[in-house]
Structures are given as C-alpha cells and as structure tokens.
Amino acid sequence: MESLNNMDAACEIAAAFDEEFLAFCKALIRTPSLSGEEGAVAGLVERELERLGYDEVFTDDWGNVCGLVHGAEKGPVLMFNGHMDVVTEGDAAEWGGYDPYGAAVDAVEVFERTYERKERTEALHGRGASDMKCGLAAQIYAGAVLAEMKRRGIPWKGTFLLAAVVLEENAEMMGTIKLTEGALPARGIEVDAMVAAEPSSLDLKLGHRGRLELKVTVRGRSCHGSSPWLGVNAVEKAAKLICAVERHFAARTDEDPRLGRPGIALTIIECFPAALCIVPDRCEITYDRRLIPGETVQGAVSELRGIAASLREADPDFDCEVAVNKAMRHSYTGKGEEIESSKEVWIIDEGHPFIRACAEGLRDAGQPVRYGHWAFSTDIPQVAVRMGKPCVGYGAGQEPYIHSGTELIRLDYLRQSLAGNVGIFLRASGLPKDAFTA
C-alpha cells in the first residue's frame, strides 16, 4: 500500500513539473549532439541535474554526466541510462518542412503503441525526439520527482543514478563501458540494475540480438587495366565471397522464438586503388552481423572464415582475411581509444524478480504492461552480460520514427513515461539484494 500511496504523490509532483519538463525536452532537441560532439548537451544536462536538486552531480573524463538522488534508507543502486548523442539529421528535404532542430509541437497522425493504427495527437518533432533525448529527459525528471518526494518527507529507499552517456550511436557502447568500468567504481558506486531509455513505445523490452561488424579484406594483384589477365582483381574475388555469404545465410533456418533470425548485411564495400586503368589489389567489405542466443562473436568470425576457406580450396587465387572491425572513437572531452565493434546477445525473462517489479511499477502508475524485444541493439549488454546485472528497456519513443526524417515523440506517451520511470524505481528499489542477478 505504501508504494501506491507514494505513487499518488509522485504523479502529483510529475504533473507539477510538466511545463519545465517539456521545455527541457525542447532545449535538448534544439542542441545538436552528434557522437563525439555532445559537449553542449552535456552542459545542459549537468545544469539541469543541479537545478533539480540532485544530491550529487558529476561528469567523468569521457563526458558522461551522472546525477544521484539518495533515499532515506539504504537500498539498491538503480541506473537509469540514456545516451546524449544522435545521428545526423540527413537530407533536410525528408523532414517535410520541420526543422530537425526546431522542436516544433503540433497535432499529427501518429502510431499507437502496437503500430497497428494511427491516431491524431500532439507530438514533438526533431532529431533525438524518440532516440532518445526525450527518453533521457523523462529519466532526469524521474529523479527530480524522487528528490521532491524526499524534500516532502515521503520515504523511499535506495539510490537513483541518472547516467547520460556519450558515444552510443557508434554502436560500441563506449560511453557506458567507460562509465561502468571507470568513474563509477572509482567513486565506490556499484550498480544493481539498469533501465535504458531507448524507444520502446512504453513496453518493457526484454532483449535484443547481439551485433558485430565483420571486416573482410580480399587481396588480389594489381596490373594495368588493359591487361587484366596479368593480375588478380580483388573486387571480382570479393564478388564470389559476397554471393557465397548470401547463399549460406539463405540456407540457415535457425530462429529464436523471441529474437528472430540471425542476420548479416553488407554495409560498406571499397576497393584500392580506386583509379582508372588499374586492377584493384584490395577490396574491403564491412558486414553488419546480428547474433541470436547460442551464437558468439568468435563463432560468427569462424563462420565467415569457413566460407572463405571453401572458396580458397576451389580457387588458389582467392585470398582474404576476416576479423572483427575496430574503430577509433573520440569523446568531446578529448579522450580517445580504439574499440572493437561488437556486443553480445541480451535477453531476460519476464519472470525475473526485477522485471516483475518493473511491471508492478508500471501498474502502480496506471499503465498497462506489455513486453517485447528490440530489432536494434543497445548499450545494455555492457551491464547485463559483462557485469551480470538485470536490465530492462523502457521509453516513450517509437521505433518507426527513429533515425528518420519523421522523428517525433507523442507528448501523451512522454508524460506517461515520466510517471512510469518513477513507478519502476519505487518498486524495484524495494527488492532484496539477491534479486539483482542477470
């Protein structure tokens, strides 16, 4: 009963924050923040956490901004994680007259939660609206609601940890990795569970496929374009590999009932030297590989190497290398490091104590509970797989609008997500310590 009484107070406080909450969402959208260029948004977040009365606020060496609100009684540390970076706005013509950084609000036809139909409702437009500046703002204001509850003498236990991270859209989890392996341990902060604000249409997301980038380098021998028989055309050899990979995956029939089929997509192909009258001696291919339960990063590398070995047996001039792609990433703070482009499969059962608590929290907030799984990948594997902590996805954004020229977020869902985040925290923070295992 105490949780429900606290939730009534939380909803009242959240409603009082409505005007400034929406103003902050607009401010975030109006501030561009491509990966590695999040400094201006990080400053906005840091100042807002301080203004809203968080007990502790700090920014780490990599530019991740954190805020903590402590309950009257000790309990679990629950991290509410959202990324500050966004993808490029793309072609302005695709935005249908909206300024991608304008944060306009109007009534439009928008999908409802199941994406089966549309309905007319108010929406906020702009890059990052769904993915995921507004989801991050909802988490920030959830902490503000808890801080105000504490000021009013309304008891709750545990610690609310807000983590606004950098470098998520690059797909390597760099910001969350550096935060959880560096700044948090250095401050003696041990995370017990995480809620990611990725767009979920208010569903509780329980998993996604793993992801890695496979870099394939096919080697040939250059010669003059007038006498191609004197060389070995790396692009022609690469074409054989591309066809073989396509055949191999078309023949695979394995499928996970929750996460679907494994996948592979050729995303980048380049040849060197790319010049007239020269047969290229190198062709580089980048594959986006999606993993299902039972698959591993090393297994995916071995699979592609096996395909290449078969081609080499049939063609002595075929030569290629397969490896996990690596990339150099730089933060707006000046920190930089090379990182492997891979992340594991993540999945959690709806019967897990943490997930049951999250569901009860949403019911406390008056929201129906639905479960689902993402097609895309997130930062969650760093916490769920590598740290062994239970995680869930929850946000007001919706997948059809992310990374698109129609990016928007429903204001009704956005308001509900603020209360939902508080409900999740209040229920989950009451769990015993032994409930927090992945």
Label residue 438 by pLDDT band (50, 70, 90): confident
Give the model's pLDDT for residue 92: 86
Strand, coil or helix: what is 340?
strand
Could you read off the pLDDT of 214-255 as tens digits, one per residue? 999 999 999 999 999 999 999 999 999 999 999 999 999 999
Domain boundary among 328, 357, 387: 328
Q: Do 232 and 150 share a domain, yes or no?
A: no
Share of the chain above pLDDT 90, in %: 97
Number of domains, the chain: 2
The interaxial angle of helices 134-151 and 39-51, nearest 10 deg, is 20
Which amino acid would we find at residue 92? Answer: A
Contact yes or no for 172/155 (Cβ under 8 A): no
Q: Do 166 and 243 share a domain, yes or no?
A: no
Q: What's 179's domain CATH number?
A: 3.40.630.10
Q: Do 32 and 132 share a domain, yes or no?
A: yes
The total number of residues shown for the chain amounts to: 438
Mean pLDDT to the nearest integer, 71-82: 96
Does residue 337 belong to any structural domain of this protein? no
Does residue 338 belong to any structural domain of this protein? no
Beta bridge partners of 121: 108
pTM: 0.95
Mean pLDDT (the chain, rounded)? 96
Q: Is 327 exposed, middle or buried (0-12, 13-18, 19+ CB in 10 A)?
A: middle
Contact yes or no for 175/167 (Cβ under 8 A): yes
Mean pLDDT to the nearest integer, 80-92: 95
For the chain, the first-to-last Cα distance in angstroms comes to 28
Give the model's pLDDT for residue 1: 45
Does residue 157 belong to any structural domain of this protein? yes
Label residue 4 by pLDDT band (50, 70, 90): low
Q: Do 14 and 48 share a domain, yes or no?
A: yes
Could you read off the pLDDT of 245-286 as tens digits, one per residue? 999 999 999 999 999 999 999 999 999 999 999 999 999 999
Query: Greater confidence, 35 or 2?
Result: 35
Q: Do 409 and 300 share a domain, yes or no?
A: no
Does residue 85 belong to any structural domain of this protein? yes
Mean pLDDT to the nearest integer, 419-434: 96
Q: Do 40 and 110 share a domain, yes or no?
A: yes
Q: What's 222's domain CATH number?
A: 3.30.70.360
Does residue 334 belong to any structural domain of this protein? no
Domain boundary among 275, 299, 328: 328
Label residue 3 by pLDDT band (50, 70, 90): low
Measure Cα distances from 160 to 44, 150, 229, 428 in Å.
19, 12, 67, 11
CA angle centred on 323, ends 321 and 325, rounded to 5°:
130
The structure tokens listed for 272 are 């060197």
Q: Do 111 and 237 share a domain, yes or no?
A: no
Q: Do 184 and 223 share a domain, yes or no?
A: no
Distance, CA of 381 to CA of 79 (rounded, Å): 14
Q: Do 230 and 203 share a domain, yes or no?
A: no
Q: Do 51 and 95 share a domain, yes or no?
A: yes
Strand, coil or helix: what is 228?
helix
Q: Which domain holds residue 118?
A: 2-208+345-435
Domain boundary among 267, 301, 328: 328
290 phi, psi to nearest 5 deg: -105, 130
Does residue 336 belong to any structural domain of this protein? no
Strand, coil or helix: what is 324?
strand
Residue 2 reports pLDDT greater than 60: no
Does residue 333 belong to any structural domain of this protein? no
Q: Do 66 and 215 share a domain, yes or no?
A: no
Does residue 390 belong to any structural domain of this protein? yes
Mean pLDDT to the nearest integer, 49-67: 98
Mean pLDDT to the nearest integer, 144-159: 97
Q: Do 178 and 202 share a domain, yes or no?
A: yes
Could you read off the pLDDT of 173-200 as tens digits, one per residue? 999 999 999 999 999 999 999 999 999 9
Distance, CA of 418 to CA of 396 (rounded, Å): 9
Could you read off the pLDDT of 291-345 as tens digits, one per residue? 999 999 999 999 999 999 999 999 999 999 999 999 999 999 999 999 999 999 9
Strands ordered across the beta sheet of 118-125 = 105-111, 118-125, 408-410
